Every structure is written in structure tokens, then in C-alpha cells.
Amino acid sequence: MKPRLLKRILPRGLQGRAALILILPVIVIQLVVAVVIIQRYFEGVTRQMTGNIAIEVAYLTREVNAAPSAAAAQRVAAGLGRALRMRTDLLAPGPKGDARVFYDLSGRQVITSLHNSLPDVRGVDLYSNARQVRMLVGTRWGPMRVVFSRDRVSASNPHQLLVLVVFTSALMTLIAYLFLRNQLRPITRLASAAEEFGKGRTVPYRPRGAVEVRAAGRAFLDMRARIERQIEQRTLMLSGVSHDLRTPLTRMKLSLSMMEDDDEAQALLRDVEHMERLLDAFLSFARGDAMEEVSEVDAAELVAQVVENARRGGQKVTLRPVEISDGEAPRAKLRPQAVTRAVENLLGNAARYAHRAEVRVLLAPNLLRIVVEDDGPGIPEARREEALRPFTRLDAARDPNRGGGVGLGLSIAADTAHSHGGRLLLGDSAMGGLRAELVLAR
């Protein structure tokens, strides 16, 4: 079996693999025990016990054949039968062939041993009555039916031990599986808490389980606390920096507005406005959505509002009908302001580099996809990864004559996608330009 095919067959989850580790050895042990007990022990015991009965039947046959008449043979058969604990009937109908239940493994050995030890055996019936052995033996005076207890040729209930082994193994496997699931549950909860934190959601979590799992849980809580504290401190610091930088910029704008309206003053005013725009973009990227709480919103309505705002700003944007999977609600748990800012940045890029843009909203069972397409020059495939980096401008690759941004629009959208457990995908648009797909986990 090829390794790839084996990987497809084997379970991928830790619980499934652990169950396989438990069940597989139990099955192998059961098979080994069954083979050893049935083929080695029970077959040997059955062969020995059947050989003893064959000696008695052979002695009975010789005495019957030595009788001077049929009546005497009948009396000899009856008398020796009672002594040997057998029921014998001379000239009585008996089995004309061998018969047994298909799962009677020891019965197969009984029939084989009787035929090998007694050449005159014409048939052995183990099917009519599971507690008796009915056999037909040829004699000088005709066929003789011999009936005796099945316990005399095979161990009583030979499969009882196997049934007990199987039942006990199944019971212990079930108990072990329940215990294992209880041990794996803290790992599942830890993975769920980490996944939710990756989507920007902080869920209550308390370390439980084994010592190693508790250590991993405490390490996760410490890491989450440090990240949250770092984000909060960064946000507070940037808020202070924003206030400190806006004050001198405001004074500069006020001073320039009081100066004579000449080309030099206008140039300086444009520089100040450009600095404010750079500051706003940088703070928007650095602040991210750390301080915004997750709420359940109507994703389609949120995107529709962004598109409507873009239209009022003079942008040519088309909103296609929402595509919703069967039974899926249009609501999703998001950070509304962050998603709004990300979509606005994507539409802002489209407005800067293209003439028309088109927006689609697709709701899948676990994903929210917001697709923005334009008819601009697009981004070469070799530079799409570079375009997602902060402060990266690809104006030369698109259209440098239409004004450039600060290189943070796609970075902010990608950061928003990552904080929601998704990603930003760039591709070729059917309109001939760029296709930006914002994939968010619901």
C-alpha cells in the first residue's frame, strides 16, 4: 500500500488515531488467541478425545462382527453400548454423509479423526443435534447406528473462552476509549481557544487534564495575555503619538492659511495634507482592530453600506446580489469597523487605479467571502505577495499617473483578514483588472 493511500485511510484526528492505537492491538491479540486456542489447543484436545472414542467404537465393531448371528450381534451391540455409554442400533437408519454447522470448527476435526481411525464409518452427523454425535458404521451384519454425547469428543463450549475474550476486550476497549476521550477533551478545548484567538475572539478557557496539557494551557494563557497587553500598549502609545503629531501639523496648517496665497504656500500646504494622510494611514494600520469587540452583524448589509458610501463619493461601483448557501444566515461574527475599513481600502484602490469596480458577497457554511474586482491594470502575479507588504507601492506596475497611496491599503485588508482567521487573495479579474477576495471565518 502506498504511503499516500495509507495516509488517506488513517484518521487524521488525535482522537481517531488514539482509538486506532487502542483497537488495533486488541484485534491482533484476539486473532492470535483464536488461532492458538482453536488450531493448537482445541484441535489437539479434540483429536485426542476422538481417538479414545474411536478405540471404543472399533472394539464394539469387532465384537459385533464376531457374533455368530444377527440376533446375537444385536444383543452384543446393545450390551456393549450400555457399558460404553453409547446407544447402538443394528440395521437402523443413520446418517449417510457428514453434516455439521459451518461455524463448528471442532466438529470438522471430529469428523476427520473418526474417518481416519475407523475405515468403516459411512457418515457422521453433528448437525441434527448439537449435543450428540450420530454416526453410521458398517458391520458384517449391516450398518450400525452409534449415538453418544458430543462432550466425549470435544471440549464443552470450546468457543466460550473466545467469546469471553472478545466480550472482555470490547468492554475494556470501550472503557479505555471513554477515558481517552476524557483525556483528549482538554486538548480539543485548548485548540478551540487558540483557533478563536487567531480569529480575534477571546473565549473563556481554563487549563484541565493531564499535567502536560495543563502546562500547555497555562503557556497559552500567558501568551494570550502578553499579546493582548502588547496590543493594548501599542494602541495607547499610537494614540499618544497621533495626538502629539497632529498638534504641530494643525499649527502648520493654520500658519500656512494665514500666509499669502502663493505657489510656495500651496506646495507647503499640500505637503502638510500629505503628512496627515500618511499619519492617518499609518495609525490605521498600526492600530488594527485590537480594541474593537466582535459582534454579530449582517454581512451583506455592511458591505452594501460601504458600496453606497463609495457611490456617494463618485465611484462607479456595482454590488451584485448576495450568494448564500442553502440554509445559511446572512449574519456573521465580525469586527464591523475593521471589515468596513478593509473593504473601503479595497474600493479605494479600485477607485485610484480603475474606472469601474464590482463587489460580491458570498456566504458559505464557515466562510464569508467579499470579492472586489476592477477593470484596472491589475497586479502581476509575481508581485502580488509583495503588494501585501506594508508601505509597498506598485504604482509603476499599475498606473503612476493617477496618484498613488501610501502602500497600506492591501496590508490593512490582509491584516483584517488574518485577525478574522482568513486571508486576502489576489488574482485576475474577469473585468480585466485585479480581483481581491477577502476571506473571513464566520
Residues 185-210 pLDDT 10s: 888 888 888 877 876 677 888 888 87
DSSP string, 34-91: HHIIIIIIIHHHHHHHHHHHHHHHHHHHHHHHHSSSHHHHHHHHHHHHHHTT-EEEET
CATH number assigned to the domain comprising residue 255? 1.10.287.130
The percent of residues above 70 in pLDDT, for the chain, comes to 84
Same-domain pairing of 303 and 400:
yes
CATH number assigned to the domain comprising residue 112? 3.30.450
* Domain contains 195: no
Q: Which three cell numbers stand for residue 388?
A: 501585501
* Domain contains 171: no
Closest by CA to 360, choosing from 349, 371, 347, 351, is 371
Same-domain pairing of 301 and 281:
no
* Domain contains 201: no
Same-domain pairing of 114 and 243:
no
At 412, the pLDDT band (50, 70, 90 cuts) reads confident
Provide the β-strand partners of residue 424: 438
- Residue burial 234-243, b: 16+ Cβ < 10 Å; e: rest: ebeebeeebe
Quick: pLDDT tens for 338-351.
888 888 888 888 88
In this prediction, residues 416-428 reach a mean pLDDT of 85
Residue spans of beta strands (DSSP E) within 212-351: 295-298, 317-319, 323-324, 331-334
Same-domain pairing of 267 and 296:
no
Instruction: Indicate the length of the chain as a whole number.
Output: 442
Quick: pLDDT tens for 349-373.
888 888 889 999 988 878 888 999 9
Q: What pLDDT does 158 receive?
A: 53
Q: What pLDDT does 37 receive?
A: 67
Last residue of a domain, one of 108, 135, 152: 152
Q: What pLDDT does 401 receive?
A: 39
Rounded CA-CA distance 118/97 in Å is 14
Rounded CA-CA distance 147/348 in Å is 99
What range does the domain containing 247 cover?
A: 211-285
Same-domain pairing of 220 and 351:
no
Same-domain pairing of 268 and 323:
no
* Domain contains 177: no
Q: Is the pLDDT of residue 134 over 90?
A: yes
Provide the β-strand partners of residue 318: 358
Same-domain pairing of 316 and 390:
yes
Q: How many domains does the chain have?
A: 3
Q: What is the mean pLDDT of the chain?
A: 81
Whether the CB-CB separation of 306 and 340 falls below 8 Å is answered with: yes
Question: Is pLDDT larger for residue 308 or for residue 387?
Answer: 308
Q: What pLDDT does 399 receive?
A: 42
Quick: pLDDT tens for 291-324.
567 788 888 889 999 899 888 888 888 888 888 7
* Domain contains 100: yes
Residue type, 404: G
Last residue of a domain, one of 131, 152, 173: 152
* Domain contains 141: yes
Closest by CA to 202, choosing from 112, 268, 292, is 292
